Amino acid sequence: MLRRDLTNWRAQWDRMERLYARVMGPYMSTVAFDDDVRHLLQDMWHLKDWLKNDPGTSKMCDYEGEVARSTSLRILADLANGSKHLARNHNRVHADVVSTNITVHVGQNRPADIDYVVELGSGERLSIQDVIRSAHDDWVSILKGVGLL
């Protein structure tokens, strides 16, 4: 079993924040970006489970209800579950990554331009970075609303 200070909601939030900062920054490697995005999607989605299972926060909020009211977190759920299980067992908004645009600047010592395009069941297309940013903003709002941030 992990130490208690490594298993509370705040430890998960802090891990997620470090990864969020990395994903929003420049990347020289498309492989590293892909790995980090997949992990961030899962970490952001499963934060609700950490909050629900932490005895200090479990009764503060209906986390499932808050997540259900957030379009960005529902999109995140589809992407996280698809990246974790290869297939989704629930479709909240039918979100899938449908294309990847990558420009690598060979010999220019510049980060790669990487954009994953997410398509919703409605046909709307979004950048993965925009989805992640909106989901992060929604988590900040939820956590501030219950006095955790």
The predicted model gives 16-44 an average pLDDT of 93
Please report which confidence band the pLDDT of residue 85 belongs to, taking 50, 70 and 90 as the band edges: very low
Residue 59 — left, alpha, or beta (φ > 0 → left; ψ -120 to 50 → alpha)? alpha
Using the predicted structure, report yes or no on whether residue 10 has a pLDDT greater than 80.
yes
The pLDDT value given to residue 54: 92
Domain hosting 117: range is 4-145
The pLDDT value given to residue 32: 92
The pLDDT value given to residue 4: 59
pTM reported for the whole predicted model: 0.84
Under a CB-based contact definition with an 8 Å cutoff, are residues 9 and 57 in contact? yes
* Count of domains observed in the chain: 1
Residue 28: which of 123, 105, 136, 121 has the closest Cα? 105
